[in-house]
């Protein structure tokens, strides 16, 4: 199956090579194969497939990943909800009744 | 109070409910998670397993028709916020101190999928309190997170129940859980398993290695189809408020206002709104990869435009030519808005991307809709 792709060159993901010790944790947790482990070295090869879920950043023990993460997904309804509440993008209403159970 | 016990449905199962005793209990003695009573039925509990630190409920891997019916209902948004199980530790089969520990969310749909796929494996299932939200969304919100996992390990005294120090988490939980911090706090090593519970048996057979396919999130037509019913229900708020506002506006005429005119217009208006709804919420998601452009709102706009122009050519739109133009604008705009909201349900859109899309899409949608409504009202009064 062809991989679904969103816009090019907008994603905030960055890999700081100097901090990376190539443990490969980001490769394991990424749902879109954004990272690749080649010859015991981690490369950021699928930048445009990143959905900014934040799994790699959260699990990087060395702080080698830079990324702006919201609630883990790009959701227009969440951005609108956040704009109404005057907060950052958020999912879920006042009673934690969410659209994304 | 017997009556209130029956109301929350846990009256006669007190010896079978999870025995961690840390679950909040409400005034009628029912277990609750975050103030909302858990699912009345705990039919999946079939016994208990004794350990050094007490007994834990044993659950079946068998899903019966009620579980499937429940899954069908939540797909349609029925009592979805209550589709929860009590957080805590459960036993599948007859686990020992050497058995694997799997971790999941307390959304019953997630819980059911995991226990079904643990069939034949004697294992422990640690259920986190995610307020009834699935693993991935809860991980994004942080409820399926490091803090809750560490707390739940401590509450259940997991370190006294198993002698190994391994936990198997769904990969999508990684958005909320930092494996290295869990290790630091509890000594347990987090192993990220497959994205989908159905791959658990294969993952275990492959010595706890998730293949590339197991780690990848897809979004095929069936994944999209499953989301449509809930979107139809969830977005009814937009449908009904549109119907109300436009119907009220449709009473304006040269002589002032006419209720009869509203009643006459309400069915044609409902037809228009339903067309936009269907275009943006059903057609766009279903044909998502086949519609040109990556932009969800533009996809929705195109589908809405095609549907409305087809209706126009088929002479299915009401009113004079001016009104029909307004209707085409409106259907396209509404469809675009709803399709844009599908970004949240999709599995590949980034926050930065959606923000970029909205900067153009929202003004366009507002202008188109405003234009449509102005033409519509003018046409009524001229």
Respond yes or no on whether ipTM tops 0.90.
Answer: yes
Task: Using the predicted structure, report yes or no on whether residue B17 has a pLDDT greater than 70.
Answer: no
Residue A81 sits in the same domain as residue A53: no
Q: In chain A, which residues have their Cβ closer than 8 Å to the Cβ of B34?
A: 96
pLDDT tens string B175-223: 999 999 999 999 999 999 999 999 999 999 999 999 999 999 999 999 9
Task: Using the predicted structure, report yes or no on whether residue B4 has a pLDDT greater than 90.
Answer: no
Domain hosting A92: range is 70-101
The reply to whether A100 touches chain B by the CB within 8 Å rule is yes
Residue A63 sits in the same domain as residue A76: no
Residue A3 sits in the same domain as residue A51: yes
Task: Using the predicted structure, report yes or no on whether residue B24 has a pLDDT greater than 80.
Answer: no
- Which pLDDT belongs to residue B377? 82
- Which pLDDT belongs to residue B1? 31
pLDDT tens string A30-87: 999 999 999 999 999 999 999 999 999 999 999 999 999 877 788 998 898 888 888 8
User: Which residue in B305, B358, B359, B293 sits closest to B330, CA to CA?
Assistant: B305
pLDDT tens string B42-88: 899 999 999 999 999 999 999 999 999 999 999 998 888 889 999 99
Separation between Cα atoms, residue B84 and residue B37, nearest integer Å: 8
The reply to whether A29 touches chain B by the CB within 8 Å rule is yes
Class for the domain spanning B2-215: alpha beta
- Which among A49, A61, A95 has the least Cβ separation from residue B180? A61
pLDDT tens string B234-252: 899 889 999 999 999 889 8
Q: In chain A, which residues have their Cβ closer than 8 Å to the Cβ of B294?
A: 5-7
The answer to whether B344 contacts A61, with C-beta atoms less than 8 Å apart, is: no
Residue of B nearest to A2 (CA): B289
Which residue ranges make up each domain of chain B? 2-215, 221-381
Separation between Cα atoms, residue B341 and residue B60, nearest integer Å: 38
Number of domains in chain A: 2
The CATH number of whichever domain residue A12 belongs to comes to 3.30.70.20
Q: Coil, helix or strand for B358?
A: helix
pLDDT tens string B281-301: 999 999 999 999 999 999 999
Residue of A nearest to B82 (CA): A97
């Amino acid at each position: 199956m062809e991989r679904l792709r969103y816009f090019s060159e907008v994603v905030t993901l960055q890999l700081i090579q100097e901090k990376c010790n190539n443990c490969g944790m980001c490769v394991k947790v990424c749902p879109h194969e954004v990272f690749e482990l080649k010859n015991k070295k981690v490369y950021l090869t699928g930048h445009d497939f990143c959905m900014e879920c934040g799994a790699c950043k959260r699990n990087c023990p060395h702080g080698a990943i830079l990324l702006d993460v919201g609630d883990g997904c790009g959701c227009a309804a969440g951005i609108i909800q956040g704009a109404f509440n005057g907060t950052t993008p958020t999912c879920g209403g006042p009673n934690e009744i969410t659209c994304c159970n | 109070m017997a009556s209130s016990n029956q109301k929350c449905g846990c009256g006669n199962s007190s010896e079978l409910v999870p025995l961690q005793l840390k679950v909040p209990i409400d005034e009628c003695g029912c277990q609750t998670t975050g103030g909302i009573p858990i699912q009345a039925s705990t039919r999946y509990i079939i016994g208990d397993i004794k350990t050094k630190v007490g007994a834990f409920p044993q659950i079946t891997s068998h899903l019966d028709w009620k579980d499937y019916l429940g899954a069908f209902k939540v797909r349609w948004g029925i009592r979805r916020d209550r589709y929860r199980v009590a957080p805590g530790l459960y036993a599948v089969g007859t686990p020992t101190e050497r058995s694997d520990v799997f971790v999941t969310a307390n959304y019953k749909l997630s819980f059911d999928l995991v226990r079904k796929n643990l069939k034949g494996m004697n294992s422990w299932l640690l259920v986190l309190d995610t307020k009834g939200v699935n693993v991935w969304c809860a991980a994004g919100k942080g409820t399926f997170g490091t803090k809750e996992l560490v707390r739940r390990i401590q509450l259940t005294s997991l370190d006294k129940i198993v002698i190994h120090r391994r936990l198997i988490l769904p990969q999508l939980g990684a958005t909320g859980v930092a494996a290295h911090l869990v290790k630091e706090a509890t000594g347990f090593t987090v192993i990220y398993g497959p994205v989908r519970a159905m791959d658990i048996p294969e993952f275990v057979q492959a010595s706890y290695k998730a293949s590339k396919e197991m780690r990848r999130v897809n979004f095929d037509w069936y994944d999209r189809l499953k989301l449509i019913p809930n979107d139809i229900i969830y977005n009814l708020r937009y449908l009904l408020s549109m119907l109300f506002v436009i119907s009220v506006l449709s009473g304006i005429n040269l002589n002032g206002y006419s209720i009869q005119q509203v009643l006459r217009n309400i069915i044609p208006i409902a037809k228009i709104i339903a067309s936009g709804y269907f275009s943006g919420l059903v057609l766009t998601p279903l044909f998502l990869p086949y519609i040109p452009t990556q932009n969800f709102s533009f996809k929705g706009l195109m589908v809405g435009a095609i549907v409305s122009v087809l209706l126009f050519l088929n002479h299915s739109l009401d009113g004079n030519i001016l009104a029909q133009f307004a209707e085409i604008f409106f259907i396209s705009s509404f469809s675009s808005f709803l399709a844009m909201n599908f970004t949240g349900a999709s599995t590949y859109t980034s926050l930065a991307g959606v923000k970029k899309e909205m900067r153009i899409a929202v003004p366009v949608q507002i202008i188109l809709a405003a234009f449509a409504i102005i033409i519509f009202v003018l046409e009524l009064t001229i």
